[in-house]
């Protein structure tokens, strides 16, 4: 494990003072609380001065206010700056994680569990902004080909909607359907699931509101083109139609979860489903009325 000694921490500040761009590049993860006790005031002064005056203080200001004398680095070059950025990222992540673990221990002792996951996750994910995203004009063909090859596009099953969406939904996308109570959100998603089943896709329908039985019955009605009130009057025909559809459609697993379920519960269910069935999941619908 690397030793981020007070001397190393002071060197971070000295490089940032000499190269203002490096300070700007770490500003999103800069936290004076991570520094050694005798450097905290100096780090906070630099941060506050930069935010208030839009420029870094000079070394004489720092020494006069905090008593810490930062040295000038002879022949500072790109290699020094790259080292500083890389090591400062590791230093910050480690310090934030240490603090998160200590805070989590206190929370667990008090029986407060909900914030713990976020504390640890936020600390682990601390990083500098290195990825600049996509240069829109650089390679249109390559960009579109990568999207097609890696994700692909699926029709919604409704030509009019596909036209509005320029072909349908792309794999890997999250689509959110919002509406008031009784506006048809559940029916829309159930119908969408039927369309994708008929296209041969495997899916999971997670319902946090309706029962598994009622959800399945609605899908029976759509899949067999039978009015809901007629399903029980002709069970034999409905059963035959559903079983015949199974031979050419994808697979669908319907799962009820309590309303307080979170993303980790959904992730655990999907993993268990894949392990026990050996099937991949092409689409997932989560049906929940949050009002």
pLDDT digits (tens, 9 = 90+) for 175-190: 888 887 778 888 999 9
Distance CA 114, CA 98 (A): 19
pTM above threshold 0.85: no
What is the percent of the chain where pLDDT is above 70? 97
Among the listed residues 191, 204, 2, the one whose alpha carbon sits nearest the alpha carbon of residue 87: 2
Question: In the chain, which segments carry CATH 3.40.50.300?
Answer: 176-287
Alpha helices in 36-166 (DSSP H): 37-53, 59-66, 78-109, 114-124, 140-150, 159-164
pLDDT tens digits, residue range 191-203?
A: 999 999 998 999 9
Q: Is 204 exposed, middle or buried (0-12, 13-18, 19+ CB in 10 A)?
A: buried
Helix (H, G, I), strand (E, B) or coil at 224: helix
Asked if residue 289 has pLDDT above 70, the reply is no
What pLDDT does residue 207 have? Answer: 92
Distance CA 265, CA 244 (A): 33
Confidence tier at 162 by pLDDT (50, 70, 90): confident
Question: In the chain, which segments carry CATH 1.10.860?
Answer: 6-124
- Tokens representing 49 are 């001065």
Q: Which CATH class is domain 176-287?
A: alpha beta
**Interstrand relation of 203-207 and 169-170 (parallel, antiparallel or unpaired):** unpaired
Torsion of CA 191, 195, 200, 203, to 10 degrees: -30
Overall average pLDDT of the 3-29 stretch = 95
**What's 98's DSSP letter?**
H
Give the CATH fold of the 6-124 domain.
DNAb Helicase; Chain A (1.10.860)
């Amino acid at each position: 494990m690397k030793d981020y000694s007070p001397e190393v921490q002071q060197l971070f500040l000295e490089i940032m003072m000499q190269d203002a761009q490096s300070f700007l590049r770490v500003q999103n993860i800069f936290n004076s609380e991570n520094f050694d006790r005798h450097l905290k005031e100096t780090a906070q002064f630099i941060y506050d001065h930069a935010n208030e005056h839009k420029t870094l203080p000079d070394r004489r200001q720092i020494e006069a206010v905090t008593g810490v004398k930062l040295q000038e680095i002879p022949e500072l070059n790109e290699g020094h700056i790259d080292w500083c950025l890389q090591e400062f990222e590791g230093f910050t992540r480690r310090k934030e994680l240490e603090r998160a673990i200590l805070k989590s221990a206190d929370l667990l002792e008090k029986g407060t569990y909900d914030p713990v996951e976020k504390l640890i996750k936020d600390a682990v994910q601390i990083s500098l902004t290195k990825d600049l995203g996509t240069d829109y004009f650089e390679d249109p063909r390559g960009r579109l080909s990568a999207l097609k090859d890696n994700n692909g596009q699926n029709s919604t099953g409704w030509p009019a909607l596909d036209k509005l969406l320029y072909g349908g939904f792309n794999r890997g996308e999250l689509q959110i359907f919002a509406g008031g109570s009784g506006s048809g959100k559940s029916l829309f998603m159930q119908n969408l699931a039927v369309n994708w089943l008929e296209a041969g896709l495997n899916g999971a329908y997670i319902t946090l509101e309706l029962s598994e039985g009622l959800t399945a019955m609605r899908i029976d009605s759509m899949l067999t083109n039978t009015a809901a009130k007629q399903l029980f009057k002709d069970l034999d025909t409905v059963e035959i139609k559903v079983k015949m559809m199974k031979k050419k459609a994808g697979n669908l697993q319907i799962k009820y979860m309590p309303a307080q379920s979170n993303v980790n519960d959904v992730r655990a269910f999907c993993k268990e489903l894949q392990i026990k069935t050996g099937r991949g999941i092409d689409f997932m619908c989560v049906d929940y009325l949050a009002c």
